[in-house]
Amino acid sequence: MLILLGAIINQKPVQTSRRYVNWEKVLSVSDYQNVINLVYLGILGLEKEISEACGEEFYQKYKKELLLYESYQKAEEVILWQLEKHGIDALLLSDTSVRELYPLPEMASFGQIEILVDKKNLAQIYRLMRDMDYEQEDDRLEKGNVYVRVPGIRVVFYGEIPIENKVLRRYFSGSIRKYLRMENCSQQNAPRRSSLWLAGFASAKYRHIHILSDEEEYMYRAGRLVELYLTGVLKIRDILEFWLFRQVLDEAFPWKAVKDLLEKARWTEFVHQTEVLSSLWFEEGVRQQYGTALELEEYILVPGQENKHLDKVLLPNEKVRLDFYRRDREEEWLLKKKEWMFPPRDYMCQFFPILDKYPFLLIFCWGIRNIRIYTRMCVNKCEKVWFRLSVRMLDIKEKIKGLVRRRSEAAPEEPAEPEEKEPEDEVREHSAEAEDEAQRYAAEDEVQGHAAEPEVTEGDMQIEEFKD
């Protein structure tokens, strides 16, 4: 499978193997290692050696990867638009631009979109994602908030950089606004990103969306490899993308500053062995010492395996952090609670070397170890409770605003209250009313007087003349 991947990545013809190949096993392994679309491109033309059912499953998974990219692209555009609309500063840690690293776009695979935001915006982002039909998912290996939606889109929002190393935390500390704005990025300050990708996002004029420079992205990718190694989920796809990213870096890349940072973080040996392993897999004619790299290869290809010698050589300090902070203790509580609370002295000497000289301090080291673990658990629990309270308060705030707005729109205009009149005005009005009433009665009497007089006819007038 690795020979097949090397040929596909380097755009070379695939050599037919003379030995029997269990393609069902290749399908299972490539699916776990997230390289099934690459393997499918390599087996085109080898259909005679593969069963019809296995070939059909290869094709369906390859087709799913292609359709998933379109869904990721649309989802990323909508999410960035929502963040820009609400004025939330965000830093893209992992996005769909990774497709530009591959010789062919269909070779890329997307595990998740990773975005760094300020902690205070996580509650508001939860409401935005909920309104876009995303569901929050619990993942103990992720430090951020994971949101999922059909047909398999996965978006992770981090409140802090998801790397535990203190040197890298200081390197990525500070406001998100210090990073390169997507609106201002170009081929000069972001050389690995294609002009088409830059033109598409620059036209949207994102002022609150930021991206990593090449130096920052290199350090972030190295840090993520370390985190994946520590949690036991480092895969071929991760090594491949790190190798592809390194291939596109030009001579202007600040290698000296990067090597100094790796030295301070004590990651130099890990990154070196990762590069040796990637050259073994994806390059030809490179001869190096592959001893430690082969151990790393076995660690990646055999899931669930532990190699203490490899841990000590690659990351002598990071495994201590993993024991204190990142292990899942739920099963251990149920099965070996006593042994976990008070491990043997040989085990404790790995983390407290002082016990070799002063064994009687074992009980104090037990207390320190348990305090560290329970402190971490309490902090995580408090963060979750505070997050839920923040979301609840935002919902209540929005409901109150809507209720007030509806009442103000539905309430009719109240008639103006009559002004209070002075006593002199009231007397004047009463006298005026009395005069009007007297005039009205006088007019009625006059009308009645006229009505009482008899009407004079023409015959009466003739009689009066005859009398005269």
Which of 61, 134, 69, 124 shows the shortest CA–CA distance to 95?
69
According to the model, what pLDDT value does residue 326 have? Answer: 47
What strands, in cross-sheet order, belong to the sheet with 145-149?
Answer: 135-137, 145-149, 153-158, 113-117, 90-94, 209-211, 180-181
The answer on 194 and 232 residing in a single domain is: no
Q: Are 167 and 261 in contact (CB under 8 A)?
A: yes
User: Hey, what's the torsion of the CAs at 439, 440, 441, 445, to 10 degrees?
Assistant: 100
Which of 129, 26, 13 shows the shortest CA–CA distance to 78?
129
The answer on 194 and 80 residing in a single domain is: yes
The answer on 221 and 168 residing in a single domain is: no
CATH code at position 174: 3.30.460
Residue 135: other Cβ atoms inside 10 A: 11
According to the model, what pLDDT value does residue 438 have? Answer: 56
d(CA 303, CA 234): 9
* Tokens coding 154: 């996965």
Which of 67, 224, 80 shows the shortest CA–CA distance to 141?
224
103 upstream amide cis, omega within 30 of 0? no
| Domain end position, chosen among 155, 178, 212 | 212
Question: In 3-state terms, what secondary structure has residue 210?
Answer: strand
Which of 78, 83, 29 shows the shortest CA–CA distance to 58?
29
Burial 443-452 (b: 16+ CB within 10 A, else e): eeeeeeeeee
The answer on 299 and 187 residing in a single domain is: no
Which of 99, 104, 94 shows the shortest CA–CA distance to 161?
94
Q: Are 179 and 220 in contact (CB under 8 A)?
A: no
- Whether 19 is in a domain gets the answer yes
- Whether 157 is in a domain gets the answer yes
For the chain, which residues score pLDDT lower than 70? 17, 47-48, 183-204, 285-287, 319-340, 411-468
Q: Which residues pair with 90 in a beta bridge?
A: 117, 209
Looking only at the bridges linking them, the beta strands covering 113-117 and 153-158 are parallel
The answer on 389 and 301 residing in a single domain is: no
21 alpha carbon, distance to own chain's centre: 40
According to the model, what pLDDT value does residue 435 have? Answer: 59
- Residue 13 belongs to domain spanning: 1-50
The answer on 96 and 205 residing in a single domain is: yes
Strands (E), 140-208: 145-149, 153-158, 180-181
- Tell me the one-letter amino acid at 366: W
d(CA 121, CA 115): 12
Q: Are 156 and 149 in contact (CB under 8 A)?
A: no
Give the number of C-alpha atoms closer than 13 A to the C-alpha of residue 272, restricted to the C-beta side: 15
- Whether 452 is in a domain gets the answer no
- Whether 113 is in a domain gets the answer yes
d(CA 148, CA 156): 9
- Whether 426 is in a domain gets the answer no
The answer on 188 and 133 residing in a single domain is: yes
Identify the DSSP state of 417: P
d(CA 356, CA 349): 7
If one counts the domains in the chain, the total is 4
| DSSP code string of 322-341 | HHHHT---HHHHHH-HHHHH
- Please give the helix or strand (H or E) that residue 385 lies within, else none: helix 362-410
The answer on 95 and 193 residing in a single domain is: yes
- Whether 236 is in a domain gets the answer yes
According to the model, what pLDDT value does residue 463 have? Answer: 47
Residues in the chain: 468
If you search the block for the tokens 């399908």, which residue do you land on? 27
| Domain end position, chosen among 285, 315, 345 | 315
If you search the block for the tokens 């998974």, which residue do you land on? 61
Cα maximum dimension of the chain? 165
- Whether 456 is in a domain gets the answer no
The answer on 271 and 223 residing in a single domain is: yes
59: CB partners within 8 A, 6+ apart: 40
What phi and psi values does residue 464 have, to the nearest 5 degrees?
A: -65, -40
The answer on 158 and 115 residing in a single domain is: yes
- Whether 463 is in a domain gets the answer no
| Domain end position, chosen among 254, 282, 315 | 315
The answer on 232 and 188 residing in a single domain is: no
The answer on 294 and 219 residing in a single domain is: yes
Instruction: Specify the pTM.
Output: 0.69
